[in-house]
């Protein structure tokens, strides 16, 4: 009984995640080719913004983990 219930929950989670990743893949396929042309300066600025975002996320994780470890 419990094993069957756990299997059904795991199946539901697997199906849920598969549908979500399928939707993400569909969106990625749709926007794979840009509709507008970008200048090299625009590409450089977007690259710098991505690097900046990754840096902010890294700092956020660092602060989160140091706060947790301090307690």
Reported as a single tens digit per residue, the pLDDT across 33-68 is 878 888 999 999 999 999 999 999 999 999 999 998
- pLDDT on residue 64: 93
> The tokens of 67 are what?
């706060």
Distance of alpha carbon 12 from alpha carbon 25, whole angstroms: 20
Most confident of 2-6, 17-21, 64-68: 64-68
Give the residue extent of every domain in the chain: 1-33, 35-71
Q: How far apart are CA 52 and CA 46, in angstroms?
A: 10
């Amino acid at each position: 009984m419990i094993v069957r219930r756990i299997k059904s929950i795991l199946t539901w989670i697997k199906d849920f995640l598969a549908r979500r990743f399928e939707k993400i893949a569909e969106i990625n396929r749709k926007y794979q080719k840009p509709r507008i042309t970008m200048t090299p300066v625009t590409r450089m600025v977007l690259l710098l913004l991505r690097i900046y975002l990754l840096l902010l996320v890294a700092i956020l994780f660092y602060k989160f983990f140091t706060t947790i470890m301090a307690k």
